[in-house]
């Protein structure tokens, strides 16, 4: 009698584990219809379609250090068909990667508006952080063990920052998202 109870309990546990494994397997779910990071003008997600690409050999050394979305943001490479500059900026703002800051101290003629982008800056070892700081709006974090700085940078200053020899790459911060 005791062995029958153990056998039934074992079968129940195996069925339970099997059910959990079956339900949690991502390959059993249909693939997403669209995994685009861009928003169509109607506000819905859309596919990129024909993306015009610029061969890397046509980019300067500094431009090669910038991620594709940053190159699109500053107008170095074209946006995908159907995506406007406003749409790209709206998407980046929604993802907390882009913001505008007014600075009245810079200009006596009124307020100067700065377009800031949130980026990871990867550098060589022992890079003088003052060089990085001079080309950023605000450093929010840094990790010298990984040669990584997280900062808000004026889009007008991205190429100047990328021209620093010890800067290896600059890419947009992608914040975690919950479903």
The DSSP-derived string for 150-161 is EEEEEGGGHHHH
138, two tokens: 């605000």
Residue 34 lies in a domain: no
Task: Give the Cβ contact number of residue 74 at 10 Å.
Answer: 16
Task: Give the Cβ contact number of residue 109 at 10 Å.
Answer: 6
Do residues 98 and 154 make contact, with C-beta atoms less than 8 angstroms apart? no
Residue 148 lies in a domain: yes
CA 146/CA 63 separation, integer angstroms:
22
Please give the pLDDT value at position 174.
87
Please give the pLDDT value at position 31.
40
Query: pLDDT tens for residues 124-145?
Result: 998 888 889 999 999 999 998 8
In terms of residue numbers, what domain contains 152? 56-172
Residue 179 lies in a domain: no
Please state, in angstroms and as integers, the Cα–Cα distance from residue 47 to each residue in 44, 107, 126, following that order: 10, 42, 42
Please state, in angstroms and as integers, the Cα–Cα distance from residue 92 to each residue in 12, 115, 119, following that order: 49, 11, 12
Residue 87 DSSP code: H
Do residues 134 and 94 make contact, with C-beta atoms less than 8 angstroms apart? no
Most confident by average pLDDT, 32-46, 103-117, 147-161: 147-161
- More confidently predicted of 80 and 19: 80
Residue 168 lies in a domain: yes
Residue 117 lies in a domain: yes
Query: pLDDT tens for residues 64-93?
Result: 999 989 999 998 888 888 888 888 899 889
Number of domains making up the chain = 1
Segment 94-106 shows an average pLDDT of 81
Please give the pLDDT value at position 156.
92
Which of 11-25, 50-64, 87-101 has the weakest average pLDDT?
11-25
The strand pairing partners of 59, in sequence order, are none
Residue 29 lies in a domain: no
Task: Give the Cβ contact number of residue 47 at 10 Å.
Answer: 13
Residue 68 lies in a domain: yes
Residue 101 lies in a domain: yes
CA 108/CA 164 separation, integer angstroms:
30
């Amino acid at each position: 009698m005791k062995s029958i109870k153990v056998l039934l309990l074992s079968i129940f546990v195996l069925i339970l584990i099997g059910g959990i494994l079956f339900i949690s397997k991502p390959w059993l779910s249909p693939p997403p219809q669209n995994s685009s990071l861009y928003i169509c003008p109607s506000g819905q997600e859309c596919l990129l379609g024909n993306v015009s690409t610029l061969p890397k050999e046509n980019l300067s050394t500094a431009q090669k250090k910038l991620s594709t979305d940053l190159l699109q943001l500053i107008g170095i490479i074209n946006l995908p068909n159907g995506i406007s500059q406003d749409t790209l900026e709206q998407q980046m703002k929604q993802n907390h990667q882009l913001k505008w800051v007014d600075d009245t101290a810079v200009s006596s003629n009124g307020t100067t508006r700065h377009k800031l982008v949130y980026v990871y800056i990867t550098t060589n070892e022992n890079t003088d952080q003052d060089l990085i700081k001079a080309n950023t709006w605000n450093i929010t974090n840094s990790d010298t063990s990984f040669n990584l700085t997280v900062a808000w940078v004026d889009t007008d200053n991205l190429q100047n920052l990328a021209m620093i020899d010890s800067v290896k790459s600059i890419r947009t911060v992608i914040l975690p998202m919950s479903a």
